[in-house]
Structure 1
Amino acid sequence: MLKHVTFLGAAALSLSVTTSASAQDVAAGSDVTADTVVAKVGDTEITVGELIIARSMLPQQYAQFPNDVLFTGLVDQLVQQQLLADELEEVPASILYTLANERRGLLAAEVVNALSETAVTPEALQEAYNARFADAPDVPEYRASHLLVETEEEAAAAKARIDEGEEFAAVATDVSIDPAGQQNGGDLGWFSEGMMVDEFQDAILALDIGEVSDPFESQFGWHVATLVDERIQPQPEFDQVAPQLMGELQEAAVLAYLEELTAAATIERPEEGAFDPNVIDQIDLLTE
Structure 2
Amino acid sequence: MPKGFTFLPALGLAAALALPVPAMAEPDADTVVARVNGAEITLGHMILAHATLPQQYRQLPPDVLYNAILDQLIQQSALEQAHGDEAPKHVTLSLENERRSLLAAEEIEAIMSDAASQEDIQAAYDAEYGDGFGGDEFNASHILVETQEEASAIKTELDGGADFAETAKAKSTGPSGPSGGELGWFGPGAMVPEFEAAVVALEPGQVSEPVQTQFGWHLVKLNDKRQAEAPALESVQDEIAQTLRQQAVQQKVEELTAAAEIERPEIEDLDPAILQNLDIVRN
Please report how far the alpha carbon of residue 245 of structure 1 lies from its aligned counterpart in structure 2 after TM superposition.
3.0
Structure 1 position 287, deviation (Å) = 2.6
Alignment of 1:26-175 (within 5 A): 29-89=24-84, 90-135=86-131, 141-145=137-141, 150=154, 152=157, 171=166, 174-175=169-170
* Structure 1 residue 97 displacement after superposition: 0.3
- Is 1:196–2:199 an aligned residue pair? yes
Counterpart of 2:30 in structure 1: which amino acid?
A: D
Rounded Cα–Cα distance in structure 2 between residues aligned with 1:237 and 1:267: 45
Q: CA RMSD in A?
A: 3.9
Q: 1:131 to 1:226 in 2, by over 3 A?
A: closer
1:124 is displaced (CA, Å) by 1.7
Aligned 8 A contact 1:152 1:222 in 2: no
1:58 offset after TM fit, Å? 1.8
> Which is higher, the Rg of structure 1 or of structure 2?
2
Question: Which residue of the other structure, out of 249, 256, 260, is the alignment partner of 1:261?
Answer: 256
Aligned residues: 238
Tell me by how many angstroms 1:62 deviates: 2.7
CA contact (8 A) 1:158 1:175 kept: no
Tell me, which stretches of 5 or more residues in structure 2 are unaligned?
1-22, 145-152, 188-195, 212-216
Q: Residue 219 of structure 1: CA displacement?
A: 4.4
SS in 1 for 2:94: helix
Structure 1 residue 179 corresponds to structure 2 residue 174: yes
Change (3 A) 1:104 1:123: same
Cα deviations across residues 84-131 of structure 1 (Å, max 9, x unaligned)? 222213421101100010011111111111111111222222222222
Query: 1:146-172 CA distances to partner (integer Å, 9 max, x unpaired)?
Result: 66883639986768xxxxxxxx6xx46
Structure 1 unmatched ranges of 5 or more: 1-27, 160-167, 205-215
Closer/same/farther in 2, CA of residues 195 and 219 from structure 1, 3 Å limit: closer
Q: Judge conservation of contact 2:204–2:222 (CA < 8 Å) in 1.
A: no
Q: Report the CA distance shift for 1:156/1:69 in structure 2 as closer, same or farther (over 3 A).
A: same
Alignment of structure 1 residues 215-226 onto 2, 5 Å: 218-219=209-210
Task: Give the letter aligned to residue 36 of structure 1.
Answer: T
Amino acid at match of 1:134: G
